[in-house]
A and B are shown apart, each in its own frame.
Chain A
């Protein structure tokens, strides 16, 4: 199949970027989208040009490295799919696809399609953990946890930190990311003693980083490759209010 790409090229953080057109011929429909970008890069290298930079690593949808706006949608058109698991069989011969980086004030562009998402690490560092040093933990079965609780916690814990929620939000809010970690830990008995402090510190850090506020658009949930529910955001708000007034 033949695919036309329009790819955002930007040589550095302060450089002016632009969409550049490329045409790829003889693509195979079983290829992943990133493998199609590999094909493009091989062609560019052969011509002595700079390849397109994009973050990627596991290519199994779990590491969260990759993240692109594909056709205007974070991770592309397929539901519950990170862009590394998007396959060309979902496109038609002759299609034109626009490829852009995740855009947000808090995600400055480094080069081409690569952005700096370190703000997410700082949100976790603000309190996204149970404060337990190594050693001295009680026997794992000394704390029974209802299966429903742990299953619900798990659903929130599956976040891969890719940033699609931020990129798709009109406010560039990180509420789904932050809420997912708050909700994961709030559903478990471990770490209850720091429950209030945790949510306050994480929310404060989220604001400090320059992410916008949530105004219930729900775009984040729609693009989340792990289908994390915006119930996480509601949970975060309840936890926050509880921390301030509870």
Chain B
């Protein structure tokens, strides 16, 4: 099977307009005849559902939380990029596109990234019109700050709670449509199966998490907006309920999974403090605007940070990357921190941390100036660690944060299953091998507010999802049976290990061998041990309780079962990619200075994996990436 990306013709900057000019339209009176199923209510799902309902479609929306307002987009802190050039510092759509494609280490599809940059300005307009309280200057105009991987200030922000404010904007737009009746909201539902009929996505099976009932919903298209899979590592900055199940179930039904090994390890997280740890907390990248990262020059120096004189500190990012300093992209900053810790320079009790120091910023801006910019982040840090970051430097260490990989989609955001669209973090499309800061919010809202409204219409108007399907048809029966069987199996194993114990074990394998730095031997080891762990899971997991009631442990049991399959695919993908690029760092492929060494001639492609059965190895399909507008250069942030 060849992967057809359906990139429109014309010069790069005109492709999206060309698409819009030619996309087929659905008559307003006909839109209400179409049922659209939207799974997930983060920035992508919430904005898509609201927008499609405004256009007149009948939209059914599903989320696993008790309210659509709680999707994990809410936790995004730092900001959202747009090429407004309000600060007059030379930003353009082209520059945002270029920074994003370069930041992704030339492993993203050019046309998608350009579209993202092109619609970015509309997002800011839309959100301001909704009443999102972005930070402003005293003159009343919008304020910007800078973020990693860029030399302009293009990041809009709402204190350290940008994701919350953007999500509440989308949520409110969604609730407005609930009131009109165009959206029917189904909270506390988890999608367990996709229903494919005549080769098209025509429905889903969800579990009502309160009653345990398996419910059937038919539609003319399915939008999967279910976020990323970082929780495969057990410890990540993702919310506890974030999972891969909906995407993985679609993968098993024929949707290809692209670049699963591209996972972002965020440099500024609060370090692990003990075995009981249930999740990790991010400190926004925006802190690197004013914080300086350092370790002692002497390995094992146990003096308190304040007692270490300036000339005995190694500001290693500023030293290695004078051009970007503390604002190098996330993958570069994370690896640099790992290197100094691996070499014994780490700080704190575990030695797995580096300092993020605000002493200079407090000297420059005063404590109140720093509080104004980062107050809530400093509070959060103190609450978790018991230390006051205005007095002692923060200790930070990289943690799993975002997954660039996801279900393969074409330019229209459609997966390899017609009628199954994938938006936001759940797809693979825009960030290549590494995502720049403040670009996830941009992508989620670009997909939901501005892309899907046209591409879904084009699909429907071209005859996709035509004819009504009934939930009593055999395909639905079969999907329910599959979901039911899995639940029964999980409840009947009655083994000796908890779901969390298995999940922690899987996470440790992933972190050790499929984490920040990977090698052939380790990846092969990971593939073998994950397979063994998966086999053990189905013989030895313990899931007490019943299926016909709220049973979160049962929910988690299903999700971990899917993570145990995904983890192996991630390792396979990382093993096959004999190069380093972005967040995928293969130790065999590095420059003399220890930077990622790409192998463009062999690996300038998207690896899209096809599920071929439980007993068979997955099949890899390539989408070759061709670059018309940019030259592939070695990223340099020096």
* Chain A positions near chain B (C-beta within 8 angstroms): 11-12, 28, 30-32, 34-35, 38-39, 41-42, 44-46, 48-51, 53, 55-65, 78, 80-81, 85, 87, 89, 110-111, 114, 116-118, 120-121, 124-135, 137-141, 143-147, 150-151, 153-154, 157-158, 160-161, 184-185, 188, 190-191
Task: Let me know if B140 and A121 touch, CB within 8 A.
Answer: no
> Shortest beta-carbon distance, B444 to chain A, in Å?
14
Given known pairs A121-B67, A161-B67, A188-B133, the reply for A42 and B380 (CB within 8 Å) is no
- Would you call B133 and A129 a contact (CB within 8 A)? no
For B124, the chain A residues whose CB sits under 8 A away are 140
Q: Complex formed: what's the CA distance from A141 to B143 in Å?
A: 10
A144 touches B140 (CB 8 A): yes
Q: CB-defined interface of B277-289 with A at 8 Å, one 1/0 digit per residue? A: 1110110000000
Given A53-B552, A191-B131: A110 in contact with B386 (beta carbons within 8 A): no
Q: How far is the CA of A139 from the CA of B121 in the complex (A)?
A: 8
Q: Taking each of A11, A57, A114, which has the highest tally of chain B beta carbons within 10 Å of its own beta carbon?
A: A57
Which B residues have a C-beta under 8 Å from some C-beta of A?
47, 50-51, 54, 65-70, 72, 74-75, 84, 86, 122, 124-131, 133-142, 158-159, 161, 164-165, 168, 171-173, 175-176, 178-179, 185, 187, 210, 239-241, 273-274, 276-279, 281-282, 379-380, 383-384, 386, 449-450, 453, 498-501, 542-545, 549-553
**A121 lies within 8 A of B69 (CB):** yes
Which of A51, A85, A120 interacts with B383 by CB under 8 Å?
A85
Shortest beta-carbon distance from A224 to chain B in Å: 14
A188 touches B131 (CB 8 A): yes
Q: Among the interface residues A41, A128, A141, which one has the most CB atoms of the partner chain B within 10 A? A: A141
Contacts of B171 in A (CB 8 A): 124
A51 to chain B, nearest CB (A): 5
A161 B383 Cβ-Cβ under 8 A: no
3 closest Cβ contacts across the A-B interface? A144-B140, A129-B172, A137-B129
Pairwise interchain contact A157-B165, C-beta atoms closer than 8 A: yes
Please give, as numbers and ranges, the residues of chain B lying within 8 Å of A39 by CB-CB distance: 276
Q: Which of A48, A80, A134, A157 contacts B50 (CB 8 A)?
A: A134
Whose C-beta in chain A lies nearest to the C-beta of B64?
A57
Q: CA A32 – CA B240 in complex, angstroms?
A: 14
What is the CB-to-nearest-CB distance from A228 to chain B, in angstroms, rounded to a whole number? 13
Contacts of B125 in A (CB 8 A): 137-140
Q: Please name all residues of chain A whose beta carbon is closer than 8 Å to the beta carbon of B281 when the two chains form the complex.
A: 59-60
Query: With A63-B239, A129-B175 given, is the CB distance from A51 to B187 under 8 Å?
Result: no
Q: Is the CB of B550 within 8 A of A32?
A: no
Given A28-B276, A125-B175, A138 contacting B133 (CB threshold 8 A): no
- Chain A residues near B241 (CB, 8 Å)? 57
Q: Are A30 and B544 in contact (CB under 8 A)?
A: no
A131 near B70 with CB under 8 A, answer no
Are A158 and B164 within 8 A (Cβ)?
yes
Residues of B within 8 A of A138 (CB): 125, 129
| A118 pairs with B51, CB closer than 8 A | no
User: Given A121-B68, A131-B176, A143-B128, do A32 and B552 touch, yes or no (CB 8 Å)?
Assistant: no
Smallest CB–CB gap between A82 and chain B, Å? 10
Chain A hits for B453, CB < 8 A: 134
Chain B residues near A85 (CB-CB < 8 A): 380, 383-384
With A46-B498, A118-B66, A118-B67 given, can you name 8 additional A-B contacts, CB distance below 8 Å? A51-B544, A58-B240, A60-B282, A110-B550, A132-B126, A132-B129, A190-B128, A191-B131
Asked whether, in the complex, the Cβ of B172 is within 8 Å of the Cβ of A128, the reply is: yes
Give CA–CA (A245, B323) in the complex, Å: 62
| Contact assessment for B187 and A57 in the assembled complex, using a CB-CB cutoff below 8 Å | no
**How far does the Cβ of A152 sit from chain B's closest Cβ, in whole Å?**
9
What would be 26 A-B contacts, judged by CB atoms less than 8 Å apart? A35-B276, A35-B278, A45-B543, A46-B542, A49-B544, A50-B545, A53-B552, A55-B66, A56-B240, A59-B240, A60-B75, A61-B383, A63-B70, A63-B75, A64-B67, A65-B70, A116-B66, A118-B67, A133-B54, A134-B453, A140-B142, A141-B142, A143-B128, A144-B139, A153-B133, A154-B133
Q: Which of B72, B273, B450 contacts A63 (CB 8 A)?
A: B72
Chain B residues whose C-beta falls within 8 Å of the C-beta of A150 in the assembled complex:
133-136
A51 to B555, CA, bound (A): 13
| Given A65-B65, A157-B165, residue A129 in contact with residue B70 (CB < 8 A) | no
Residues of B within 8 A of A160 (CB): 164
- Residues in B whose Cβ lies below 8 Å from that of A30: 273-274, 386
List chain B residues, Cβ under 8 A from A134.
47, 50-51, 54, 126, 173, 449-450, 453
Is B164 a contact partner of A62 (Cβ separation < 8 A)? Answer: yes
